[in-house]
Amino acid sequence: MIMLDHLMPVPLEERLSQNESTQIWNKKLAFSEGEWIKITAPSGTGKTTFMHILYALRFDYTGNVILNQQNIRNLTADELSAIRKQKLSVIFQDLKLFPHISARENIELKRVLQEPFCSAERMEEMAATLGISAILEQSAGICSYGEQQRIAIVRALMQPFEWLIMDEPFSHLDLANKKIAAALIAAECKKRNAGIIMTDLDDDDLFPYTRKLVL
Amino acid sequence: MKQLNSILRKLIRNSAGRTKFTVAVVGMSVAAFLLLTAVQIQVDYNQLLYSKSSKDSIANFLVINKVLTDANLGNTTLDDSIINDISKQPFTEAVGILTPSRFKASIQSNSNRFPFYTDIAFESVPAAFIDVNDATWTWDEQADFVPIIIPTMFLDIYNFQFSLSQNLPQLTPAIVKMIVLKVNIYGPNVTTSFNGKIVGFSDRISSMLVPQEFMEWGNKQFASDLSGKSSRIIIRTKDPGNPMLTQYLDQHQLTTDSDKTRFSKYRKVVDAVVVISGATGTLMLIFALLVFSLFIQLTIASCKEEISLLILLGASPTQLKKFIMKQFFPANVWMITIALLAVTVLQYFIHQFLSNQQIVLSSIISGYTVGSALLLIGVLWWVNSKAIQESIHPKRSKD
């Protein structure tokens, strides 16, 4: 379970405190295990900031994020690493791939960073499903943004997790590819009984969301 | 793990340059070699000085007297204060007084076949300072003969110079010990004769020695001057090559057989070599360590983005630290091993060289040198670990 207790990013405090429509900032709410949550966030409402706070990438906020009874602010570097290997997986808006190594190595790195959850064959299957088998040996940096987005999706599905955090994960995919990717993600989340927290600019029905919130 | 390491190797590259790395490695190896050599030289020197196999018995006993100058002619006695002072010095293990005879004496042959006569003076010294073990080394008035120890050198002079020039037979130590001599002591009014026998030959004290009991009795009976002051003492010392000892003797205008203190000159050279080699090694090690840890930090800094992204994806700082240690630390172990091997080879050649000169030195390096190498590896591990730790652990911003 993830508890959000009156979160407010310090740099955005002035702007966000004027936002009366928000259902997240400065509110107390909980995301239950296995919930699939869509957070719609118009530009400038701190969408990426929120995702980074959830993933414990930044700590310049007031309030608390409690993950499984642990305040993520108090985690040591090694505890945080264990959580990122076992409990939280992420698809960043800016993808964060290593541009100089191949697409396969980008994905493989996440697969073997901990005890592998997926087999190498399953990885191949996922790549094939998303149509990136042909570019697996290419340096990630020279792949198109759409291909990079799909590499980042497969990479995020390589590990065990309780929550998959996605920040505009399909922004460069056409509708058909969006649906294929969403189906793959949904299948992998079901396999793990994992929850989804996805932010996007607009509303959508790519997943059978259990809750939709406005940031 | 293998796959992970191969990807990590691509991401965390040795991007600081091979030349810098080679310079750091060579510098470190030379530094380690100099340091280990310094340790080994010190151990070798101590082995030469103290080990049983090479112990030179004359080297540990020194007969000391005043330097004879125009100013102290006729006044060479050592007073109690200087003897006490010598006994308190750290290099002194024991002090024995050489008691001179205060009476005139002569020895002559009892045999007509081998006639000789010579005036003579005796000295005595506590038995603990004598290098001849002889059960008869005692005397009382009922004794059949007076045991005498003469310097080995005397017999050598006789056998290899005197006998040849005088056409006399050469004598082995065993024959000399069988000869019964006539010892004459001249008192103020009376002359007393004793039988005397040479019971041993000393390499340590260049004097005609008689038992202390005989000397005390003789001085009491026949001496015209009973002051009994001694001009010579003998000291037992652990290290005749101790520069403190030679310095002390110089300061107090005392002297001893310079051959016995010759080690002090060698020791000064050895000390200088050890200090120069050790200091250069330490200095080089400090610089090499600095270069090496800067090298590590530079490598990590040049991969800073990759490392932050790896941590962001879930790699733990500890996991990365272990990986980076594996990239750098084996080079350190190799460096020390090569330095240790070089010292081993050097020691073997020194052993070969010295054994030709009848000096026994171990052919293998000492445990202290190996211990020092292990200690160096420990220090390098700590420095490596610290350099990586400081570069890799992210500072969490809470502002």
DSSP structure string for B233-287: EEEEES-TT-HHHHHHHHHTTEE--TTTTHHHHHHHHHHHHHHHHHHHHHHHHHH
A11 contact partners, CB below 8 Å, separation of at least 6:
A60
Contact A154, A126 (CB under 8 A): yes
Of A95, A108, A87, A94, the C-alpha closest to A194 is: A87
What pLDDT sits at residue B14?
61
b/e B190-212 (16+ beta carbons within 10 angstroms → b): eeeebebbbbbbbebbebbbbbb
The Cα B181–Cα A44 span in angstroms is 123
What pLDDT sits at residue B56?
45
Q: Which of A106-110, B124-128, B269-273 has the lowest mean pLDDT?
A: B269-273
CB contact under 8 A, A96 and B313: yes
Tell me the ipTM for this assembly. Answer: 0.91
Percent of chain B residues past pLDDT 90, beyond the cut: 12
What pLDDT sits at residue B16?
59
What pLDDT sits at residue B378?
92
Answer with the residue of higher pLDDT: A17 or A136: A136
Minimal Cβ distance to A101: which of B1, B10, B311: B10
List beta partners, residue A3: A30, A66
Q: Using the predicted structure, report yes or no on whether residue B358 has a pLDDT greater than 70.
A: no
CB contact under 8 A, B316 and A81: yes
Q: Using the predicted structure, report yes or no on whether residue B258 has a pLDDT greater than 70.
A: no
Q: Using the predicted structure, report yes or no on whether residue B226 has a pLDDT greater than 70.
A: no
Average pLDDT over residues A34-56: 88
Does any CB of chain A come closer than 8 Å to the CB of residue B395? no
- Grade residue A129 by pLDDT with cuts at 50, 70 and 90: very high
Hey, how many other C-beta atoms are within 10 angstroms of the C-beta on B183?
22
Percent of chain A residues past pLDDT 70, beyond the cut: 100
| 3-state SS assignment for residue A97 | coil
| Residue-range domain boundaries for chain B | 2-54+265-392, 61-236
Which two three-digit tokens encode residue B113?
Answer: 């076949």
Which two three-digit tokens encode residue B10?
Answer: 């691509």
Average pLDDT over residues A154-181: 92
Q: Which of A13-17, A34-38, A67-71, B328-332 has the lowest mean pLDDT?
A: A13-17
- Range of A134-148, B180-194, B277-291, B374-388 with top mean pLDDT: A134-148
What pLDDT sits at residue A151?
95
Contacts of B391 in chain A (CB under 8 A): none
- Grade residue B398 by pLDDT with cuts at 50, 70 and 90: very low
The Cα A136–Cα B234 span in angstroms is 90
Which two three-digit tokens encode residue B284?
Answer: 């080089």
What pLDDT sits at residue B131?
72
What pLDDT sits at residue B327?
83
Contacts of B308 in chain A (CB under 8 A): none
The Cα B145–Cα B136 span in angstroms is 10
Contact A181, A155 (CB under 8 A): no
Does any CB of chain A come closer than 8 Å to the CB of residue B173? no
Average pLDDT over residues B385-391: 82
Alpha-carbon distance A112 to nearest alpha carbon in chain B (angstroms):
6
- Range of A86-90, B33-37, B189-193 with top mean pLDDT: A86-90
The Cα A30–Cα A5 span in angstroms is 9
What pLDDT sits at residue B397?
44
Give the domains, in start order, of chain A with CATH numbers: 2-214 (3.40.50.300)
Average pLDDT over residues B256-267: 66
Average pLDDT over residues B254-267: 69
Q: Is A4 exposed, middle or buried (0-12, 13-18, 19+ CB in 10 A)?
A: buried
List beta partners, residue A149: none
pLDDT tens figures, B77-106: 888 888 889 888 888 888 888 888 888 899
* Residue B199 main-chain phi, psi, to 5 deg: -105, -10
Of B336, B299, B325, the C-alpha closest to B386 is: B325
The Cα B81–Cα B64 span in angstroms is 15
Stated pTM of the model = 0.62
Which two three-digit tokens encode residue B147?
Answer: 């045991």
The Cα A10–Cα A29 span in angstroms is 19
Does any CB of chain A come closer than 8 Å to the CB of residue B389? no
Q: Using the predicted structure, report yes or no on whether residue B394 has a pLDDT greater than 80.
A: no
- Grade residue A162 by pLDDT with cuts at 50, 70 and 90: very high
What pLDDT sits at residue B15?
58
Does any CB of chain A come closer than 8 Å to the CB of residue B312? yes
Alpha-carbon distance A49 to nearest alpha carbon in chain B (angstroms):
14
Residue ranges of alpha helices (H) inside chain B are 2-11, 18-50, 80-88, 152-157, 163-166, 173-178, 212-222, 243-251, 262-302, 304-313, 317-355, 367-392
Average pLDDT over residues B217-221: 86
| 3-state SS assignment for residue B184 | strand
* Residue B123 main-chain phi, psi, to 5 deg: -135, 155
Cα-based angle A180, A185, A191 (whole degrees, multiple of 5): 130
The Cα B339–Cα B288 span in angstroms is 14
The Cα B190–Cα B171 span in angstroms is 34
CB contact under 8 A, B314 and A100: no
Strand residue runs (E) in chain A: 2-9, 28-31, 36-40, 61-67, 70-71, 88-91, 163-167, 195-200, 211-214
Which two three-digit tokens encode residue B94?
Answer: 């024991």
The Cα B376–Cα B285 span in angstroms is 10
- Grade residue A195 by pLDDT with cuts at 50, 70 and 90: very high
Please state, in angstroms and as integers, the Cα–Cα distance from residue A13 to each residue in A25, A49, A61, A63, A64, following that order. Answer: 9, 12, 9, 12, 15
pLDDT tens figures, B330-352: 888 998 999 999 999 999 998 88
Q: Is B123 exposed, middle or buried (0-12, 13-18, 19+ CB in 10 A)?
A: buried
Tell me, what amino acid is at B116?
F
Of B43, B42, B36, B85, the C-alpha closest to B64 is: B85
What pLDDT sits at residue A140?
92
Contact A32, A61 (CB under 8 A): no
Q: What is the mean pLDDT of chain B?
A: 82
CB contact under 8 A, A77 and B397: no
Which two three-digit tokens encode residue B264?
Answer: 């002090």
pLDDT tens figures, B25-60: 888 888 889 889 888 888 887 777 665 444 444 447
